[in-house]
Amino acid sequence: MRALLQRVTSASVSVEGEVTGSCGLGYLILLGVGPDDTEALAERLWKKIRNLRVFSDEHGKMNLSLVEVGGSVVVVSQFTLYADCRKGNRPAFVKAAGPELGNRLYEYFCSLAAAEVPCGKGIFGADMQVSLVNDGPVTIWLDTDDLQRPKRG
């Protein structure tokens, strides 16, 4: 699972001219799902995003998490995060999950987020227009293949 986080002061996603999700201070999360991804990976990714300390404290240091600042999120399904551009000029998307798994894990990830913070979202598979005011700018790439696994114990 892959996520591109953009710290925002505001963000929204629209489908056919109608806003389907919006947020104030928080994150725009572009979320890609791979064919081997699971609910456990979605949980790990959400936990990492929720706990990242990239919001400014009273001293201007990036030291506060999304929850600590009372932030919110907009999550947009983004299979193109799995684009393979090694050959030719047309990206291949064979490393992205199929629609059934992609949608199921996208909705699951959104439910994890919504259980903890206000969460707006796009519509899986739709042609979406995304607007945002990137704050900082702070943009962070996360891939569950690179995240440390929890200790067993």
Tell me the pLDDT tens digit for each residue of 108-125: 999 999 999 999 999 999
pLDDT of res. 32 = 97
Kindly name the residue from 6, 79, 109, 144 that is annotated as catalytic.
79
What are residue 79's phi and psi, to 5 degrees? -60, -20
In the block, tokens 């919504």 appear at 114
Average pLDDT, the chain: 95
Q: What mean pLDDT do residues 29-55 have?
A: 97
CA nearest neighbour of 3 among 34, 39, 38: 34
- Directed axis angle between helix 99-114 and helix 39-51, to 10°? 40
Cα-based angle 52, 57, 61 (whole degrees, multiple of 5): 75
| pTM: predicted TM-score of the whole model, two decimal places | 0.94
pLDDT at 70 over 90: yes
Respond yes or no: is residue 148 known to be catalytic.
no
pLDDT of res. 153 = 58
- Residues 6+ away with beta carbon under 8 Å from 122: 13, 15, 20, 21, 74, 75, 76, 77, 128, 130
pLDDT of res. 147 = 87
pLDDT of res. 150 = 63
Q: What mean pLDDT do residues 47-59 have?
A: 97
Kindly name the residue from 6, 55, 78, 109 that is annotated as catalytic.
78
Respond yes or no: is residue 55 known to be catalytic.
no
pLDDT of res. 151 = 64
Respond yes or no: is residue 79 known to be catalytic.
yes
